[in-house]
Amino acid sequence: MRMPEIRTLPVADIEIPAEYDRLYDLVYNLWWTWSSRAHLLFSSIDPVRWLRYRNPVELLINVEPRRWESLLLDQGFQNSYRSVVGEFDRYLAGVETSWFRRTFPDYRGGPFAYFSTEFGWHDSLGIYSGGLGILSGDHCKSASDLGLPFVGVGLLYRRGYFLQTVDADGDQQHFYPDYDLRRLPLLPVIGPGGKEVRVGVEFFDRTVQLRLWKAQVGRIPVVLLDSDVRENTPADRQITAVLYVRGREMRLCQEMLLGMGGVQALRALGIRPSVWHLNEGHSAFSVLERMKDLVKREKLPVAEALRRVRDGSIFTTHTPVPAGNEAFPRPLVAEYLSDCAKRCGVPVEEILSLGRADPDRDDGQFNLTALAIRTSRRVNGVSELHGRVADALWRHLRPTEAQVSGERWISHITNGVHVPTWIGPEMHDLLDRHLGGSWLDRLLDPGFAQAVMAIPDAEVWAAHEAQKRRMITVARERLLGQFARHGWSPKELGRLERWMDPSALTLGFGRRFATYKRADLIFRDPARLEAILTNAAMPAQIVFAGKAHPADHPGKDLIRRIFEASLSPTFEGRIVFLENYDMGAARSLVQGIDVWLNTPSRPHEASGTSGMKVSVNGGLNFSVLDGWWCEGYDKSYGWVIGRGEDGVDSATQDREDAASFYATLADQIVPCYYRRDPATGLPVEWIGRMKKALARLTPRFSTERMVRDYARKLYVPAALGEEPGAVIREAQFWQP
């Protein structure tokens, strides 16, 4: 089970006094991204630069030498340094007593390999776009916390995902930064001779070379592939430049490098996974590389190689609608897979048949979801509802035995969030005081909810208000820069000080601006919305944030319409749109918002996780019964938009959901927020809802619960050769 060491090469020009040399280990381990004490330590080195960069590698590169002289005499800094390093070392050493080791002490298999096209660990490392990447990042963090034998594989996008601005007309503008990889918390991988490791992916007319980088996430490594090396042509060096590039052939090249290059990278590093987890269809080409390898190295027939590959594969689908599944023209794929077919000794059409979405109809496309489903023994959705939807959508691809039984074939493991990453500092300190400093280790214990409910109302409200004030401060700063760029005068900019009233009920809407998420649903009756938001006795306000893919013109139109509405005399100061929604903005919003708004067209939301992050901070959810909210909703701590019915046409659903939104907001949510106890002045009923949301939803919708489920239901059973559906229960392995 022990993973081979992945050696790396220092690349940054960092000079640190010997007394503080462990800072180097800290900055190159993304454990710091979920350690509040590490953040405070970095900030104390240089508060201005830390606030500017939020990247400790960049921070250390730019520290003035004379600053180290003063820090060497600073007893407070020395104590903080020793404390953080001690905490870090204890964390790394704790793998021997981790949940996985205690639960599965007899496990001797290889690691679980997790492939994802994006990873969101921190806003300083921009190789993510949204929900899928944030989930992947949180998955890695909890796999580390729980001590799983685990390795991640992804692509290193030198220019990342686009940064968003909104111009004075409300039109989204996008541009791509050019990251200096030497200034990021990543290191290139080297081999035994000290040279950088290279692997090559064969296309039909050339071989593309890949450099390997390592991101260390706590106890686990993630290998990132980079085509920007001198051995490649200038054109091929651009393949891994941009995440979710719109060109279809370039996207195909990216996903072949991810899947095929990822398999080769693990092989080159001596890592032999027992289980291969494909997180969405982007990495599905990995199964073809593994199949080709078995045919070539073990001389297996293609059918037997495919069976072996399938037995060790797990596929998680995140898309409940056919149009959301990645597909490419079959002639294009045939060209690129010609070498793979040749090496397997089969016609390319035999390979292409694995990616046919409908066996009875040729749509001319090679579908990566179909490829992943056909070549994985275990397939899961990301919420209970999504599992049912995905099973119905893909039931025609079921194995024969599953078709005969008629039972559900695609299972589900509901998504979660990494609590230490998303909880705000005041709420974290509150739980530390009342539950003890190790409460995160007891998150799934039955006593967690009871302990949360016992916290005094006044302290819960004070923690929430502090986080809300900080959120509003951050929002005003962003708006100030945004409108100054638009040419507003100082007098006009001064109006921003009256926007976002900290005492007003504040709703938040932050997510990708895809049309099915219906960001404009609440504007169906502007007069009704105005009456609710501008009620002098009980005012409300809404914060919007989110990006539309550059090729998604309807999504960009949504942004423009909401931006225009936010500047109308009716809604100015009551509705705001924050540009460039990223992890930093998301943390601020979910930590301080009162109510999180979610309005997807059911059943198009596979899961959603932003509302879970709000619950971790005691915020409340107001959502359509879709995705995770079908499992999380309880009227004692949340509200529902619409009736949650299937089979309703979109026009009717829009009309009914809008009416439900207005009625519930005006008649239930707003009065509840403003109802105060005469003796204390506190919104006692509201705080009770907050405490219930924090107590009941946080454990259920954490990635700690989620990753435990993956280990018990999918990873370990697959590694042990159990039949799909088998669950390895913790009691079978627990050693007191």
CA distance 249 to 236: 12
CB under 8 Å to 343, separation ≥6 — which residues?
Answer: 292, 295, 296
In this structure, what token pair is assigned to residue 545? 């944030």
User: Which region, left, alpha or beta, applies to residue 525 given φ > 0 means left and ψ of -120 to 50 means alpha?
Assistant: beta
Q: 10 Å Cβ neighbour count for 456?
A: 12
pLDDT in tens, 522-569: 999 999 999 999 999 999 999 999 999 999 999 999 999 999 999 999
* Residue 502 per-residue DSSP state: T
CA distance 228 to 276: 26
Name which of 661, 677, 497 is nearest 595 in CA terms.
661
Name which of 581, 566, 582 is nearest 169 in CA terms.
566
pLDDT in tens, 89-122: 999 999 989 999 999 999 999 999 999 999 999 9
Q: 10 Å Cβ neighbour count for 6?
A: 19
Phi/psi for 292 (5° steps) reads -60, -40
In this structure, what token pair is assigned to residue 384? 């209970």
- Within 13 Å, how many C-alpha atoms sit on residue 629's CB side? 31
CA distance 665 to 258: 45
CA-to-CA separations, 101 to 98, 714, 729, in angstroms, rounded:
5, 17, 14
* Residue 497 per-residue DSSP state: G
Question: Is residue 2 very low, low, confident or very high in pLDDT (cuts 50, 70, 90)?
Answer: confident
Name which of 507, 735, 455, 490 is nearest 614 in CA terms.
507
In this structure, what token pair is assigned to residue 1? 């089970």
CB under 8 Å to 732, separation ≥6 — which residues?
Answer: none
CA distance 265 to 224: 9
CA distance 583 to 675: 33
Query: How many angstroms separate the first and last alpha carbons of the chain?
Result: 22
Cis peptide before 111 (omega within 30 of 0): no
Angle at 663 between CA 658 and CA 668, to 5 degrees: 135
> In the prediction, which pLDDT does 647 show?
77
CA distance 633 to 626: 10
Name which of 333, 305, 190, 184 is nearest 248 in CA terms.
333
Domains of the chain, first to last: 442-699 (3.40.50.2000)
- The string of DSSP letters for 647-661 reads S--HHHHHHHHHHHH
pLDDT in tens, 470-524: 999 999 999 999 999 999 999 999 999 999 999 999 999 999 999 999 999 999 9
Name which of 506, 466, 439, 510 is nearest 702 in CA terms.
439
Question: Is residue 1 very low, low, confident or very high in pLDDT (cuts 50, 70, 90)?
Answer: low
Question: Is residue 401 very low, low, confident or very high in pLDDT (cuts 50, 70, 90)?
Answer: low
Question: Is residue 231 very low, low, confident or very high in pLDDT (cuts 50, 70, 90)?
Answer: very high
Whole-model pTM? 0.96
The torsion of the CA quartet 22, 24, 30, 34, rounded to 10 degrees, works out to 50
What proportion of the chain, given as a percentage, has pLDDT over 90? 90
Q: Strand locations in 570-721, DSSP E?
A: 575-578, 595-598, 620-624, 638-641
- In terms of Cβ atoms closer than 10 Å to its own Cβ (0-12, 13-18, 19+), residue 336 is buried
> In the prediction, which pLDDT does 406 show?
56
> In the prediction, which pLDDT does 324 show?
75
CA distance 210 to 205: 16
Q: Is the dihedral of CA 175, 180, 186, 190 positive or negative?
A: positive
Q: Is the dihedral of CA 100, 28, 59, 136 positive or negative?
A: negative
- Within 13 Å, how many C-alpha atoms sit on residue 248's CB side? 12
CA distance 281 to 407: 24
Convert 394-422 to b/e letters by CB count within 10 Å (16 or more is b). Answer: beebbeeebeeeeebbbbbbbbbbbbbbb
CA distance 507 to 95: 40
CA distance 93 to 145: 11
pLDDT in tens, 683-730: 999 999 999 999 999 999 999 999 999 999 999 999 998 888 878 775
Q: Position of tokens 């685990």?
A: 150
Question: Is residue 735 very low, low, confident or very high in pLDDT (cuts 50, 70, 90)?
Answer: very low
In this structure, what token pair is assigned to residue 80? 């903080």
Strands 620-624 and 313-316, bridge-based pairing: unpaired
In this structure, what token pair is assigned to residue 412? 């589900």
Q: Rg for the chain (alpha carbons), in Å? A: 26
pLDDT in tens, 313-347: 999 999 887 767 899 999 999 999 998 999 898 99
pLDDT in tens, 255-307: 999 999 999 999 999 999 999 999 999 999 999 999 999 999 999 999 999 99
Question: Is residue 596 very low, low, confident or very high in pLDDT (cuts 50, 70, 90)?
Answer: very high
CA distance 175 to 164: 7
Name which of 405, 252, 313 is nearest 113 in CA terms.
313
> In the prediction, which pLDDT does 734 show?
30
CB 238 within 8 A of CB 208: no
Please report, as a single letter, which amino acid is at residue 420. P
